[in-house]
Amino acid sequence: MEMSFRWYGFGHDSITLEQIRQIPGVKGVITTLYDTQPGEAWTQEAVHALREGVETSGLKICGIESVNVHDDIKAGLPMRDMYIDNYIKSLTALGKEDVHMVCYNFMPVFDWTRTDLAKPRHDGSTVLAYDQAVIDSIDPEDMFASISGDTNGFVLPGWEPERMEHVKALFELYKNVDEEALMSNLVYFLKAIMPVCDKYDINMAIHPDDPAWSVFGLPRIITNEANIHRMLDAVNNPHNGITLCTGSLGTNRKNDLPKIIRGLRGRIHFAHVRNLQFFSDTQFEEAAHLSADGTFDMYEIMKALYDIGFDGPMRPDHGRTIWGEKCMPGYGLYDRALGAAYLNGLWEAIDKSQSLK
Ligand code: DNO
């Protein structure tokens, strides 16, 4: 396991590489070319400049989150082959710059969805939260407006205003796309990109849908163990893997996270580890990483990752906003740094107790 930290790039993040470098055990960053749009071909020059910037600070790029997939690919529209060609160009640029892990998602229209970005918590922090009753009471077109006031001026990943301006048109795109069609569009995409992944040894790590069920009637497929295996078996190449995101897959309380992890040996290429606190099956808020602060047993999750020999990048995921920090909701320095230290501590303890046996 290699501990990493998500960083949004020069000019887009309140946190500096120098600060990240001082978090014990963090070896590198998970980043992206934040100025690109889904569907655009990345150039090797741009990736090289990003890499150089990161390496100058003594860190490295542990992986990209995300190279976003254009909606025409997800919806299976005629232009998809052109966008897939561009995706292959982006992967080539990354491969040539020695980047070997790419996180992406296949969620239609909205990426991760929360109904509150600054919910006050009992400990005085604020956190991201989700309440299905709120989703059921609003129009999808109002979704962006309802959360955009709480972002502290940051552009949230997956909620870029340029895309959100076209929500209605985006919904139109998917009107004939059900879960079966979405799955087959995903398989089509994966089959097309596997040769370049093989050539440059790039691990593709699909991010689970968050929450792990349909929102606003849109199809969602990376939601449970059976669907994950279906996707992996359909393109049975070790480069076709997943991002094990506990906070996303774990939204569905039927998903037994340690069990799912144990069944995915060799196919988990990236791990996002965080905790949730539930109020009902469809209402939850994000907790501190510590097991006792939420619902998940973080020891069992880390132990399962350890036992399957997980050796990819891991990052602490969304943190609470604490200590008066002004940051992108979920992506402040302080609570994620606490999360990294805690997860590293669990890993060290598991590792040492294994070697005592
Ligand atoms: C939210 C993130 C997601 C994730 C994408 C991957 O905080 O976990 O936006 O990066 O779904 O493409």
pLDDT of residue 152: 80
pLDDT digits (tens, 9 = 90+) for 133-187: 999 998 888 877 777 777 887 777 777 777 777 888 889 999 999 999 999 999 9
> Ligand 1 centroid to 159 CA: how many Å?
10
pLDDT of residue 160: 78
Identify the CA nearest to 100 among candidates 24, 53, 47. Answer: 47
Query: What is the reported pTM?
Result: 0.97
Helices (H) and strands (E) in the chain, counts: 14, 12
Question: Does the domain at residues 2-355 carry the CATH identifier 1.10.3720.10?
Answer: no
The band of 342, judged by pLDDT with boundaries at 50, 70 and 90, is very high
pLDDT of residue 254: 97
Of 159-168, 191-200, 298-307, minimum mean pLDDT range = 159-168
Q: Are 279 and 302 in contact (CB under 8 A)?
A: no
User: Ligand 1, residues 6, 8, 64, 112: which to mutate, most atoms within 8 A of Cβ?
Assistant: 112
pLDDT of residue 150: 76
CA distance 121 to 128: 10
Report CA dihedral (244, 248, 254, 257) to the nearest 10 degrees. Answer: 30
CA distance 121 to 238: 41
Residue 330 Cα: closest atom of ligand 1:
7
| Spans of all domains in the chain | 2-355
Would you call 207 a catalytic residue per the annotation? yes
pLDDT of residue 124: 97
Dmax of the chain from CA atoms?
A: 59
CA distance 38 to 36: 7
CA distance 188 to 80: 10
pLDDT digits (tens, 9 = 90+) for 10-47: 889 999 999 999 999 999 999 999 989 999 999 999 99
Q: Hey, whose CA ends up nearest to atom 1 of ligand 1?
A: 112
Question: Which residues, judged by CB distance below 6 Å to any ligand atom, belong to the binding site of ligand 1?
Answer: 65-66, 103-105, 111-112, 157-158, 207, 330
Q: Are 49 and 81 in contact (CB under 8 A)?
A: no
Q: Hey, whose CA ends up nearest to atom 8 of ligand 1?
A: 112
CA distance 167 to 151: 19
